[in-house]
Copies of this chain bind each other. A is one copy, B any other.
């Protein structure tokens, strides 16, 4: 995790990664503390980063700049996926009026490419560009179910971190849920990542059945019945999958 601080790039990355969602703006001294780099060094590197539009300098510290946002939006995989999926996600949102996610797998985590919701959306821990473990999210579970059996076993036998009292940490139970997910095409999550949050997800599959991404609908305990949206989510995922494999075919 700690980048190589002996190279310039390592230092730069250490500085950029010091920023989190909760600390959008950090003063120089705080960057020094988090990176462990000498003050003079941080000062110089930060100045260079500002010049390259990766950081902004504000009266009370530095913050990640818009240049970084623009650059990130050029990442080809996530961008093309996003462009193809957006219309389907819109349809899904309009049909359900609940929080809609699109996520991909990276390592043992889900990365959310987008989260769309209305004014009254359930408080969920997810964020566009954010990460969550595979085992306690609907998207994660459905991706795991369609993934390599070897990898699935690896994750299931690994440390299954508990997020709420409902988080499933029993490999056996999880394994059975995977099986059902493969049969039905959807996976559920019931307050496993956040209390009060329910979720249904379905996988976007390539022509040969490889999981590319997954789509989910989430809502609060009470008014929200995940089963009711299973078909809609499955349809959306299938739609994205078919467009995707079609446009790959003719390239």
Footprint of B on A, CB under 8 Å?
Answer: 3, 7-10, 12-13, 16-17, 19-21, 24-25, 45, 48-49, 52, 56, 63-66, 68-80, 82, 86-87, 90-91, 93-94, 104, 106, 111, 113, 116-119, 121, 127-131
Contacts and interface: CB of A to CB of B under 8 A. Distances in A.
B48 A87 contact: no
A150 B45 CA distance: 34
Given A21-B74, A24-B74, A70-B130, 8 more contacts: A7-B48, A8-B8, A21-B79, A63-B75, A70-B131, A73-B130, A90-B117, A94-B94
* Number of identical monomers bound together in the oligomeric complex: 2
Contacts of A111: 66, 69-70
A90 B66 contact: no
A152 to B, nearest CB: 21
Given A13-B52, A66-B111, A117 B74 contact: no
A21 B71 CA distance: 11
Contacts of A121: 87
Nearest to A76: B24
A185 B214 CA distance: 40
A98 to B, nearest CB: 11
A52 B86 CA distance: 29
A48 B48 CA distance: 18
B82 A74 contact: no
Contact of A86 (B68, B87, B116): B116
A69 B117 CA distance: 21
A192 to B, nearest CB: 23
A108 to B, nearest CB: 15
Identify the 6 closest CB pairs spanning chains A and B, nearest first.
A72-B72, A73-B129, A24-B76, A69-B75, A8-B8, A64-B75
Nearest to A120: B87
Contacts of A66: 75, 77-78, 104, 106, 111
A75 B65 contact: yes
A73 B69 contact: yes
A112 to B, nearest CB: 9
A72 B69 CA distance: 4
B70 A74 contact: no
